[in-house]
């Protein structure tokens, strides 16, 4: 099973509503994936800075940690959301801050980028979204996932989205059959992986292609030959999102578009509360065809 | 006419009410509002009634239908009219995968496109798709007719038994043991009837279709293969 959703706003005035709309979509798909949930939101960028999303234990004192990073100086801009901390770090300080995080075993950097913030936890998707306050988040686009685990354990690390590059993330419905071989190839090419999960390999493959200079469209097209198995992917990048289904189209997918937004859902039910859905163009994405929407 | 608003009434209540209907019911016309993509709407109806659904539905709408006419003013999710026994299901929008799967009888009409595996394992249903169908349509089709006014995707009729396939547009590829066959006069006569039943009266020349079916090499025992057993 698993459920995936994606929302891309064409109408920039709707940005403050992004989180609330995405939360509604995710909530509907609870019964497709009650094990864990996660989402990535592409919000505002700070000039000359990178946003690190850091995960720690519930009781962790993030405020003390942030004060400790700049003793005596002004604290780095940060937002604590449940178990996660989003820290905005000037690029010049990124290496130092990452080194500080690395020595605290309870903390993990789960994502980074100019705009991407990423949150995931074990639990019912509606409660996970509530804990992180997804309803209040603002942004241009976001993707989300509700997981029914098959290929690896129900852990926070195994929850989607997976990210292996700055501002890049991936949610997946399906299962890959060649992930072990491909993981070995990618490790030889210099990538590192945090889990045994199949989707992380797909995310790693795509990051690797884009690092080599491929566009998102080229990356999705080459994924069709590199990846074997069942998949519907929604991929987020700094400027947009893409959708790809395997050639057999094992997993369901539906899309809708108005002049204000483009949305993806595993089922149409996930889209029914979007404003203007009654007059939206609703269609099923064709298998083995890359769909892309980018900010202009 | 009875109107059921699914934003007020639960899907289970609707389906239970439909299942209670007897063949001689006077409640012959139902209208369903706000389906909002829910699954299995009007599945398992067994009475000569008409159900009109206003909006897009989820999976298995009108599945196992017997006797009823179900008209969907919207798109259908996977498996619309799955295992239909008799009656008529009319999708005014597009249908997702496996439309009419395993259908034993009745008529399924799709005004738009049907995606992959339309008519998979069909067992006597007639399916008329006014648009195109996706890959692996009529896979292992045993009986019935699949009529496609547009194009067919890859591997049409793969491993087909005795279902009959008529396609007016381009066929991307034929599946294993599916071949083109001549379109005889009696096929055209049958096609005319199917098109008429689907509400396409005389607008389309039955002669403009090509016929496909089983080469009968895959599912028949062949004595030359005796050594393999």
Candidate from B56, B58, B97 with C-beta closest to A249:
B97
CA dist B165 and A91 (Å) reads 63
The count of structural domains within chain A is: 2
The tokens describing B185, both together, are: 């006069």
Q: Are residues A260 and A180 in the same domain?
A: yes
CATH of B2-228, one of 1.20.1740.10, 2.160.20.60, 3.10.25.10, 1.25.40.10: 2.160.20.60
Chain B nearest-CA distance from A135, in A, is 22
pLDDT tens digits for A102-154?
A: 999 999 999 999 999 999 999 999 999 999 999 999 999 999 999 998 777 88
Boundary of a domain, candidates A70, A92, A114? A114
Predicted confidence at residue B65, as pLDDT, reads 98
Q: CA separation (Å) from A252 to A125, A248, B101?
A: 19, 11, 16
Q: Tell me the H-state helices in B66-202.
A: 185-197
Inter-chain residue contact B134 with A271, CB threshold 8 Å: no
Per-residue confidence band for B201, with pLDDT thresholds at 50, 70 and 90: confident
Q: Answer left, alpha or beta for residue B76, where phi above 0 means left and psi between -120 and 50 means alpha.
A: beta
Chain B nearest-CA distance from A50, in A, is 40
- DSSP three-state, residue A14: helix
Q: Are residues A105 and A137 in the same domain?
A: no
Q: Are residues A265 and A193 in the same domain?
A: yes
| pLDDT beyond 80 at B222 | no
Q: Are residues A76 and A222 in the same domain?
A: no
Boundary of a domain, candidates A114, A141, A166? A114
CA dist B125 and A221 (Å) reads 37
Q: Are residues A245 and A280 in the same domain?
A: yes
Segments of A102-253 assigned E as strands: 108-113, 116-122, 141-147, 162-165, 168-176, 229-237, 240-245
pLDDT tens digits for A232-252?
A: 999 999 998 999 999 999 899
Report chain A's mean pLDDT, rounded to a whole number.
Answer: 94
Boundary of a domain, candidates A89, A114, A139? A114
Encode A213-281 in three state secondary structure.
Answer: CCCHHHHHHHHHHHCCEEEEEEEEECCEEEEEECCCCCCCCEEEECCCEEEEECCHHHHCCCCCHHHCE
CATH number at residue A50: 3.30.70
Q: Could you confirm whether A2 is annotated as catalytic? A: yes
Chain B nearest-CA distance from A284, in A, is 7
Measured between beta carbons, the chain A residues lying within 8 angstroms of B135 are 248-249, 287
Q: Are residues A143 and A96 in the same domain?
A: no
| pLDDT beyond 90 at A87 | yes
Per-residue confidence band for B165, with pLDDT thresholds at 50, 70 and 90: very high
Predicted confidence at residue A152, as pLDDT, reads 78
Closest to A209 measured CA to CA, from A251, A173, A247, A244: A244
- DSSP three-state, residue A162: strand
Q: What is the mean pLDDT of residues A162-188?
A: 94
- DSSP three-state, residue A29: helix
Q: Are residues A167 and A62 in the same domain?
A: no
Q: Are residues A91 and A228 in the same domain?
A: no
| pLDDT beyond 80 at A296 | no
Predicted confidence at residue B74, as pLDDT, reads 97
Q: Answer left, alpha or beta for residue B102, where phi above 0 means left and psi between -120 and 50 means alpha.
A: left
| pLDDT beyond 80 at B226 | no
- Give B50's strand partners: B29, B69
- Tokens 């028949």 sit on residue: B220
pLDDT tens digits for B21-74?
A: 999 999 999 999 999 999 999 999 999 999 999 999 999 999 999 999 999 999
**Sign of the Cα pseudo-torsion (A73, A74, A78, A84, in order):** positive
Q: Are residues A13 and A134 in the same domain?
A: yes
CATH number at residue A151: 3.60.20.10
| pLDDT beyond 80 at A256 | yes
- DSSP three-state, residue A101: helix
Cα nearest neighbour of A265 on chain B:
B37
For residue A270, the enclosing domain spans: 3-44+119-294
Structure pTM?
0.93
Predicted confidence at residue B189, as pLDDT, reads 97
Q: Are residues A22 and A72 in the same domain?
A: no
Q: Are residues A129 and A202 in the same domain?
A: yes
Inter-chain residue contact A284 with B96, CB threshold 8 Å: yes
Domain ranges of chain B: 2-228
Q: Are residues A211 and A274 in the same domain?
A: yes
């Amino acid at each position: 099973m698993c459920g995936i959703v994606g929302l891309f706003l064409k109408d920039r005035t709707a940005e403050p509503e992004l989180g609330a709309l995405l939360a509604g979509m995710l909530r509907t798909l609870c019964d497709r994936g009650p094990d864990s949930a996660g989402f990535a939101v592409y919000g505002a960028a700070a000039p000359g800075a990178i946003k690190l999303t850091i995960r720690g234990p519930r009781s962790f004192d993030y405020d003390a940690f942030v004060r400790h990073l700049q003793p005596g100086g002004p604290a780095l801009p940060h937002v604590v959301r449940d178990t996660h901390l989003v820290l905005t770090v000037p690029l010049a300080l990124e290496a130092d801050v990452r080194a500080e995080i690395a020595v605290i075993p309870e903390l993990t950097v789960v994502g980074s980028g100019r705009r991407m913030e990423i949150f995931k936890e074990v639990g019912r998707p509606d409660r996970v979204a509530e804990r992180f306050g997804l309803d209040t988040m603002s942004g241009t686009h976001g993707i989300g996932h509700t997981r029914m685990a098959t290929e690896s354990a129900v852990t926070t690390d195994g929850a989607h989205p997976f990210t292996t590059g700055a501002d890049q993330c991936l949610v997946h419905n399906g299962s890959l059959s060649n992930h072990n071989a491909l993981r070995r190839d990618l490790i030889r090419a210099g990538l590192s992986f945090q889990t045994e999960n199949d989707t992380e390999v797909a995310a790693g493959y795509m990051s690797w292609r884009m690092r080599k200079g491929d566009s998102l469209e080229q990356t999705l097209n080459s994924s069709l030959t590199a990846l074997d198995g069942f998949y519907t992917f929604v991929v987020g990048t700094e400027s947009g999102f893409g959708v790809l289904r395997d050639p057999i189209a094992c997993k369901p997918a539906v899309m809708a578009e108005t002049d204000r937004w483009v949305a993806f859902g595993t089922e149409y039910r996930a889209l029914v509360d979007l404003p203007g859905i009654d007059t939206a163009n609703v269609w099923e994405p064709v298998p083995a065809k890359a769909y892309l929407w980018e900010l202009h | 006419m009875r109107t059921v608003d699914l934003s007020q009434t639960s899907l289970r209540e609707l389906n239970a009410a439909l299942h209670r209907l007897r063949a001689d019911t006077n409640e012959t016309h139902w209208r369903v509002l706000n389906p909002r993509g829910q699954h299995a709407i009007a599945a398992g109806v067994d009475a000569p009634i008409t159900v009109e659904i206003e909006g897009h539905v989820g999976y298995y709408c009108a599945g196992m239908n017997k006797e009823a006419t179900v008209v969907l003013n919207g798109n259908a999710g996977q498996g619309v009219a799955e295992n239909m026994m008799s009656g008529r299901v009319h999708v005014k929008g597009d249908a997702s995968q496996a439309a009419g799967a395993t259908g034993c009888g009745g008529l399924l009409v799709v005004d738009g496109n049907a995606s992959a595996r339309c008519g998979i394992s069909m067992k006597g249903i007639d399916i008329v798709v006014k648009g195109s169908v996706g890959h692996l349509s009529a896979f292992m089709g045993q009986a019935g007719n699949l009529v496609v006014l547009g194009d067919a995707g890859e591997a049409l009729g793969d491993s087909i038994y005795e279902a009959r396939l008529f396609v007016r547009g381009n066929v991307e590829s034929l599946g294993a043991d599916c071949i083109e066959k001549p379109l005889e006069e009696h096929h055209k006569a049958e096609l005319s009837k199917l098109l008429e039943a689907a509400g396409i009266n005389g607008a389309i020349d039955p002669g403009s279709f090509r016929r496909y079916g089983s080469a009968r090499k895959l599912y028949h025992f062949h004595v030359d293969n005796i050594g393999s057993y």
